[in-house]
């Protein structure tokens, strides 16, 4: 039976790679991830092709790893704004008074 030893460097590298993966989101998951933003403003979530075209136009920052595109999870608000899924005010269904929403 072979015993594999790991060094502190291997463990640190694995932790770094896992941390980087948790901050990235595949582009193909973006329409589903933007659904709450779309629901908040009463619009349909964008389709993948629309998101991809905005990426090609340079409106969305992403990195390509292998054959797949990834966006940073911290950029979701900015991406929602680019896709037209943010609003500064929406009306409350009960009172019909404007309610402030953080953009």
- Full pLDDT tens readout for the chain, 103 residues: 555 555 555 555 445 444 555 789 999 999 999 998 888 888 999 999 999 999 999 999 999 999 999 999 999 989 999 998 886 544 445 555 555 555 5
Question: What span, in angstroms and rounded, lies between the C-alpha atoms of 53 and 31?
Answer: 13
Do 40 and 90 contact (CB within 8 A), yes or no? yes
3-class DSSP state for residue 102?
coil
Lookup: tokens for 65: 């790893």
Do 66 and 26 contact (CB within 8 A), yes or no? no
Q: What Cα–Cα distance (Å) separates residue 37 from each residue in 34, 41, 66, 77, 81?
A: 5, 7, 29, 9, 9
């Amino acid at each position: 039976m072979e015993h594999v030893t790991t060094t502190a460097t291997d463990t640190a590298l694995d932790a770094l790679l896992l941390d980087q993966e948790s901050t990235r989101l595949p582009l193909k998951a973006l329409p589903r991830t933007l659904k709450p933003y779309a629901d908040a403003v009463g619009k349909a979530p964008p389709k993948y092709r629309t998101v991809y075209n905005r990426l090609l136009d340079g409106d969305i920052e992403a990195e390509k790893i292998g054959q797949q595109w990834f966006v940073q999870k911290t950029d979701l608000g900015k991406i929602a704004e680019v896709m037209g899924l943010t609003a500064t005010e929406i009306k409350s269904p009960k009172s019909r008074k404007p309610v402030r929403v953080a953009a």
